[in-house]
Chains A and B, each alone.
Chain A
């Protein structure tokens, strides 16, 4: 029998990138918040610059919960389940994966919110890919702009604005939507190779710019600027210059006296009453069960676990899982098409040993609808990102471009000469949701507590594959302009698999028949249940999701604080089929 704990106003499941943000406006509004986190606190002492540990052994990890719940995956409902990964893309800790992520902090572009209406307007309805369930967001970029701004300043983002109040600044992204003001910090520094790439882009008439990063380019909020030591990729920051929620919004929320952080809390289910309102959360710590009652529940784990926890929380009111009477939980899932990379070999050293994946140069000319698609057979595009990031084991594993075998004396001579001469671009492509791509519970594989893990059934469709081939051409052109002597392209993608950029499953929208949460992030069915994270996003854009998920989280939390009485009373009756 679970121990019933003292009631609270809000319980947040997961204190990571989004839960950690939402806690702040709630605590500042004076609501009593309990943050349940499966992991523990990690500190700068835990973040050794150790490639083996960070990039090959899945460190840092506070606890191993996520790694015991790795989703299974298959391409389609009729294909066999693929081999299961041995590391979860996310980690448990206070601050979650924002502790060791790449920290690229992009706003979406205006088109990403209106893919359907803009495509119809410009090219006709026939250009929406067949089988796609994509919808316009229930609002445009203008609605989210104040929240992007809020998070950029609260968390701290370095970058170069491209469009302040409609005035285009050529040093920034000319395609970005209107922003109210500049970033709180200038962009991270460049280097010789990045300058060379930027110059090459200008030569071919493109608009290069430094990308935005939740990494301090100088001292900010009494924390250090970046030390460029080269272990940011899946590594935590030894000087707290990476702006995870563990060093920004969470301690600020704690300082109000209204946030209580509970670590090592492994949430198993969300409870509801007979009317379908959530009443609290069950969790386990060291085998002991607790029930944390709350007036409002905010679900803020990762996309896979958000869908999974809803599907596991079955009740009389929700026999198919919480908030799933419309059978939309797990639908409209997609993971970002980040694969299909392009790798270049240069005839000179790039000096990339001391850099970070968020330190780079971007080109947005071929993203979204920033170019005319009239004569093309796809919609959307990709962001081209060239960055400075290299460590020795990874360098030794570089492509040999078909010139030598992968071992032996010839290989050794090759890497001795070329270990610092290759660069791989990060190409993020617009990716859409489709009818037959979805998340559900695996019928066989269970976690150590006996709960089924999430199962991914998803593959990239023609539209994504066509973007990939198109973007690879552009990337090759850019590398060659900068002097690359050899190019290697990765295959353009099949099964989606398990990803760090996972979207949907609890999509946001006005129509309860096709969306799990409303425009504010609250369940269409359980009125005092909010969902945070990229699982509410209906499109990906061509860039990293975290800042958008954080802006949405702030907006949901602010909406809750402003409408506390109505939402906490659960005044809306659950809709029943």
Chain B
């Protein structure tokens, strides 16, 4: 796959103003009814992010409620935004990763999400007068800064702990193996320049990498027949008590 060149992107960003990215710019998975309207920056970003592919509707939720999922989508879109540097957590489907994992490997965090998301939205309404998803990007960021620094009120325990949990899971959903439902289209791996899963890297391959001549192969670990898939799947569906996680 090829992205629009960085220079093109910067040109477009300059046209629309890079700082003016709307809060919901990175939310293409809301279903057809929520297709982008006539905001030009949104169209530009969508084109950049999805490079011509049709947008998929959001998968059926496995664990989060629809309202929680909207909130998670909005948060991850600010943590790793869709911007001049290309697609972010939204396109990587980090929220989908989190939704799935909360029924498996991250099940012990399910309750923290329930209470943390509720507290975040309540804090948003009380301090900024609107639900989080309806705030501008700038206001969303200011809320997240309050949560990150522990300044936000209404959380069980420290809001900073909740922030770090969500940030870590967003990293997992953006940069982890696509097998788990995130890092869609290898968005995260392309962002950090990871050249892909290989089962053999020869000295010649390493030298090609050093000469910037090794292209990403866009492979998941489980694209290789050699590895047992069931183990990962079973584990993520086992009860948290048996996992000790």
Contact = CB atoms under 8 A, between A and B. Distances in A.
Interface of A: 44-53, 56-59, 64, 67-68, 70, 86-87, 189, 191-192, 227-230, 238-239, 349, 351, 353-354, 391-393, 395-397, 406-409, 411-413, 415-416, 419-420
B172 A45 contact: no
B79 A408 contact: yes
Interface residues of B, number: 55
Nearest to B78: A408
What are the 8 closest A-B residue pairs judged by CB atoms, nearest first?
A: A67-B244, A419-B192, A48-B227, A354-B201, A52-B176, A392-B175, A48-B221, A227-B200
A416 B191 contact: yes
A533 to B, nearest CB: 23
Contact of A229 (B85, B141, B198): B198
Contacts, number: 149
Interface stretch (B33-41, B44-52, B120-128, B204-212): B204-212
Given A50-B232, A354-B206, A395-B192, A57 B245 contact: yes
Given A45-B226, A48-B222, A408-B81, 10 more contacts: A48-B227, A50-B221, A53-B235, A58-B244, A59-B231, A392-B192, A395-B194, A412-B88, A416-B85, A416-B191
Contact of A228 (B179, B201, B242, B243): B201
Given A48-B221, A227-B199, A238-B199, A420 B193 contact: yes
Nearest to B88: A412
A46 B231 contact: yes
B177 A51 contact: yes
B202 to A, nearest CB: 8
Contacts of B231: 46, 48, 59
Nearest to B179: A50
A349 B224 CA distance: 28
Contacts of A406: 148, 167
Given A53-B232, A68-B244, A409-B83, A228 B221 contact: no
Contacts of A44: 226
Given A392-B188, A396-B174, A58 B245 contact: yes
Given A51-B177, A57-B235, A393-B175, A407 B199 contact: no
Contacts of B232: 48, 50, 53, 59
A225 to B, nearest CB: 10
A407 B201 contact: no
B176 A51 contact: yes
B228 interface: yes
Given A227-B200, A396-B171, A409-B81, A238 B226 contact: yes
Contacts of A419: 191-194
19 contacts: A46-B231, A49-B197, A49-B221, A51-B176, A52-B176, A53-B177, A56-B172, A86-B245, A228-B206, A229-B201, A351-B206, A354-B209, A392-B189, A397-B168, A407-B148, A408-B78, A416-B192, A419-B193, A420-B192
Given A49-B197, A49-B199, A238-B199, A415 B192 contact: yes
Contacts of A228: 200-202, 206
B180 A52 contact: yes
B227 A45 contact: yes
Interface in B93-120: 105
Contacts of B193: 349, 416, 419-420
Interface string B216-231: 0000011010111001
A395 B190 CA distance: 12
Contacts of B17: none
B168 to A, nearest CB: 8
A52 B178 CA distance: 10
A411 B88 CA distance: 12
A542 to B, nearest CB: 29
B143 interface: no
Given A64-B243, A412-B191, A57 B171 contact: no
A393 to B, nearest CB: 4
- Interface majority SS (helix, strand, loop, mixed), chain B: helix
A353 B228 contact: no
B235 A59 contact: yes
A410 to B, nearest CB: 10
A229 B175 CA distance: 17
B23 interface: no
A451 to B, nearest CB: 16
A239 B224 CA distance: 14
B81 A412 contact: yes
Contacts of A412: 80-81, 83, 85, 88, 191
A229 B200 contact: yes
B57 interface: no
Contacts of A230: 198, 201
A194 to B, nearest CB: 11
B22 interface: no
B15 interface: no
B31 interface: no
A238 B192 CA distance: 25
Name the residue in B78, B83, B231 with the highest tally of chain A Cβ atoms < 10 Å from its Cβ. Answer: B231
A192 to B, nearest CB: 5
Contact of A393 (B148, B176, B179, B200): B176
B203 interface: yes
B195 interface: yes
A393 B244 contact: no
Nearest to A192: B210
Contacts of B221: 48-50
Contacts of A396: 171, 174-175, 188, 192
Nearest to B208: A351
Name the residue in A57, A230, A391 with the highest tally of chain B Cβ atoms < 10 Å from its Cβ. Answer: A57
B227 A351 contact: no
Contacts of A395: 175, 192, 194
A64 B240 CA distance: 11
Nearest to B199: A229
Contacts of A59: 231-232, 235
Contacts of B228: 45-46, 48
A220 to B, nearest CB: 17
A268 B113 CA distance: 38
A271 B171 CA distance: 49
Interface string B59-86: 0000000000000000000111101110
Given A48-B228, A86-B244, A354 B205 contact: yes
A191 B206 contact: yes
A238 B197 CA distance: 13
Nearest to A191: B206
A353 B171 contact: no
Name the residue in A44, A56, A230 with the highest tally of chain B Cβ atoms < 10 Å from its Cβ. Answer: A56
A122 B189 CA distance: 54
Contacts of B144: 407
Contacts of B202: 228
B159 to A, nearest CB: 15
Contacts of A50: 177, 179, 221-222, 227, 232
B209 A407 contact: no
Given A48-B221, A393-B171, A189 B177 contact: no
A116 to B, nearest CB: 41
A448 B231 CA distance: 24
Contacts of A397: 168, 171
